[in-house]
Amino acid sequence: MAVDPQVRKLLDGLEAVGGPRYIEMSAEDGRQWFSDLRRPYEVPIGHVADREIPGQEGEIPVRLYTPVEVTADALPALVYFHGGGWVVGDLESHDPVCRALANASGCKVISVDYRLAPEHPWPAAPDDSFAAVQWVVANADSIGVDGQRIAVGGDSAGGNLAAAVALRARAAQSPYISFQLLIYPALDASMSLPSIGENAEGYFLEKAGMDWFYGHYIPAGTDEKDPDISPMFCDDLAGLPSAYIVTAGYDPLRDEGRDYADRLKNAGVPVTYANYPGMVHGFFGFQATVDAAREAVQDAGQAIGKALNRKMTVEAVDRGRRT
């Protein structure tokens, strides 16, 4: 299947703009570049509140979303970690995605503005992410959340963090996490799977970009196969939360999500795997102009809602997307 025509139009527009590539920029300039990519997309929401919560090294900014339709005093919650290669992105960059997921799932969404590399390399991001989940559970009553129905999720680097948090919670036997939403996750810092080469250039995220991100994120001398960095290399995935894993056909990271879904299934974990063959990395952020992006966000949100209402079943989403 070819690249979706609406996505191709976006890619051609980016190429036409020209200018330096983010991999040629400083981290600070790369953040501005990423911010400038945002397109206005209004998503109605019941309520939004910004606050700061305690972390290991200071306060962590979070944003709490309440869906338009509130069905109970205590709602399930999705703790969401934004993408951006652990270097770029923030609460604003993923605001439309979080709004849409809250409405589609009927859950509270807590978006986490974890510390970024290179100023704060690994393990700062997973430390902040795990602390945020612990805070949500500990403060569930005061924020209108059911502390027994907690999901973690994120896209790209955020999907990596969601998977890492699920592993940390299993190891610590706390907090209890019901579900994980992994959207085109980065799970293998060795970048050893075929899609890295197949989609190395021309599809928004490139292999050179992943080199740039990992170069900022992983300290020199650190084992890149540490499961806290590369969850793919965890030897035992049994007992992890049920998962909904999204991949894109023209994404260097496609095979990482696919193989992790297979490994989870083989370990007895209920998994739904949805591959969107005409999409590229980052397409959840294309809701303003790409029909399939809006559909995919709705699919993911509905999966969260079903899972956190104890209706999750082992299934495979086909709809022409399975590779």
CA distances from 200 to 75, 194, 213 (A): 41, 10, 14
Helix, strand, or coil (residue 168): helix
CA-to-CA distance for 297 and 295, rounded, in angstroms?
Answer: 6
pLDDT at residue number 19 = 82
What would the pLDDT profile of 134-155 be if each residue is shown by its tens digit? Answer: 999 999 999 999 999 999 999 9
Amino acid identity of residue 310, one-letter, is R
Determine contact, residues 268/242, Cβ cutoff 8 Å: no
What is the per-residue pLDDT for 202? 95
Which two structure tokens, joined as six digits, stand for 81? 């970690």
Rg, Å, the chain Cα set: 18
Model pLDDT, residue 310 = 56
Helices 124-138 and 157-172, packing angle to 10 deg: 60
Read off the tokens for 12: 């051609």
Of residues 136, 134, 129, the one with CA closest to residue 154? 129
Q: What is the pTM of this model?
A: 0.95
Do residues 152 and 130 lie in contact, with contact meaning Cβ atoms separated by under 8 Å?
no
List, for the chain, all residue ranges whose pLDDT scores fall below the cut of 50. Answer: 311-323
Strand partners, 80: 111, 153
**Among all residues, which ones are annotated catalytic?**
156, 251, 281
List the 75-81 sheet strands across, edge first: 47-55, 58-66, 108-112, 75-81, 145-155, 179-183, 242-250, 271-280
The first and second tokens of residue 73, run together, are 């005093």
CB 219 within 8 A of CB 294: no
pLDDT in tens, 98-112: 999 999 999 999 999
Q: Where are the domains of the chain?
A: 5-308
Query: How high is the pLDDT of residue 315?
Result: 36
State the pLDDT at residue 37. Answer: 87
CATH superfamily of the domain spanning 5-308? Alpha/Beta hydrolase fold, catalytic domain (3.40.50.1820)
Distance set, CA 238 to CA 3, 159, 171, 304 (Å):
35, 19, 11, 20
- Taking the C-alpha atoms of residue 258 and residue 323, their distance in angstroms, rounded to an integer, is 9
